Amino acid sequence: MKQGMKWAVALVVIGGAYFFLSRNPANVVLPVEDITVPQFSAEAAAGEVVFNGTCAACHGVNAAGTALGPALVSKIYQTRIHADFALRAAMENGVTPHHGRYAPMPPQEQITGAEVEILIAYIRELQQANGIN
């Protein structure tokens, strides 16, 4: 009986780990056509221009992710998990990957403080249009 219980526990743990890892939203590149692009505010529209010129090479078109950088249209980057100050800090200081297997993000020194704010507006409006708050 004890041996059977050990196997049952082992299967539950392995199954749970598989379930979590296979659904980790930061490890996914989203199909661009599956992302809803809203009518952006003027601030977010300006952020989209900066994003496309600076961030899209790693984070993908419409923040859908690439092999280099995670999709930002993801529940893992919602405000309650990664607040605006966390996005700001990542842009200003860079970040070591901790959600998935991506390249380190260096500090984005070419982005001004005003551009950081409009980038955050773009990301948040894109997330909201896709049901991520």
Enumerate residues 6+ apart whose C-beta is below 8 A from 127.
72, 73, 77, 78, 133
**Domain extent for 124:** 2-129
Domain total of the chain: 1
Distance CA 32, CA 42 (A): 22
Nearest to 37 by CA among 132, 104, 130: 130
Query: With bands split at pLDDT 50, 70 and 90, how would you rate the model's confidence at 13?
Result: very low
Does residue 19 surpass a pLDDT of 50?
no
Specify the length of the chain in residues: 133
CA atoms within 13 A of residue 49's CA, in its CB half-sphere: 6
In tens, the pLDDT along 87-129 reads 999 999 999 987 667 889 999 999 999 999 999 999 999 999 9
Does residue 16 surpass a pLDDT of 60?
no
DSSP 6: H
Q: Under a CB-based contact definition with an 8 Å cutoff, are residues 84 and 120 in contact?
A: yes
Global pTM value = 0.77
The CATH number linked to 94 is 1.10.760.10
DSSP 111: S
Residue 105 forms beta bridges with which residues? 95
